[in-house]
Structure 1
């Protein structure tokens, strides 16, 4: 199949536990669940691209169940809880279990959240729930207490590289190691994003890194040097650099700042600088204008370095 007409993220989506990379201990535990043919109510959380949705698909495809998938970013009202989820949970089934996958569960409304707690308890004997979120801090404590929580973490560099090399070779895509390394670093361990970038930057079955990726990598290096310099013009220069980037990846920017804190401050200030980056990276998930949030982070780093 031609790479231009196939969706690589779907073609290489894991279909069994062994296909998932990283998270070894979690895979061992979930093998026990699958062998038993039963799961508790689960809350899967972690960064984007760590395999949360893929793991939930593996579960429902390997357990005797009917399942319902809901994305709470689109369906998050109390009516969805009462009319769709509750109706599914209470309906008779010829399968042993019914499972509801509630993706982006941090998006459900407060009213829906209250109704959901009741459903979790009332139908536990016949229906189990898999909740998925990138933002565990946004989940109500009363819902957390009714689930078994698992954090899926980004895979290490070598595991990601091996998977990407496998995909490139399997698709017969020409590449060089330097380009692969650059792509992996630009994706910050997000395997789904990385596979999408391979599809984007493959032309006539050859991986060709665009100037945008190279430019953004250079921009982040200059931003760190400007924060270190910290003079009156530094913030204005950082703003202009970001404006010059077509689509600056702010999460990648925060990660780059974290990776290079020792270039910004000294041993005595690293702890304070780390807290600054962590706070603004957290705010990024719900702020209105991401550029202003990132600029505020840079300003505070200059102040505290």
Structure 2
């Protein structure tokens, strides 16, 4: 019975310390980021409704940077420019406090900005990519160090409890106390890791920042390129086709197939999906284009938003890979 109590005390100490440490470090930063996003939303919303402000992409980027400094958080942890504008569009559309005429006028201003963002997407610099990578590594390392540290404290507490209960136990030839401490360390490590995973899954999902989104998009485009290359098809990367520049053009016999890759996750603005499909429908009408694919990470975000007459074929990465493997792209 004493052994179970000793083990339980050690694990309880580890979990309690992890909870307290997480709230004071990682959790506190996430709370600051959440408040910064709310303040950002309110600031832009007030200016648009009360002063007729027409936002510019660079203005939103500057405000994001300013709010990040004000709330002592990172710009890469905050909402992206597009997500900020989408949240404002949604609130304007759903608000009964804004007159119908003003609502239509504000939505028109936002639509103009969304169109310009589609035509001239912002491309992060190499410095921004490096900064994002360093931040991600720092967060991961901090969580690992925190998990190991509190597990070691829990194991030490377990051994200390055994010593206080019977000091002669640690001086005996058997190593029962050592095995007990090691067991507490392993169990605490496993339980805290599980808690971290569950907590991450339950956290509110935000759209990534501009640089984070671009890094994810670049990685996904590379994945699509590798799949095309592995299939044996000849292809061009980002060729100019009229007024469009798709990610890839596949040479499938006598047919040219345009491919656009979107690293969409589980939460995608419906207006963004519709604009992407409309843009690709226009691309399909260009001379020399025999088919268009929109490739996404998952099939769920695009469900129900296929183009009319299936002009633009919306497929997940796994489905696209199968088409390439079976030579059924054309």
Shared fold (TM-score greater than 0.5)? no
Determine which structure has more spread, i.e. the larger CA radius of gyration. 2
Structure 1 or 2: more helix by fraction: 2
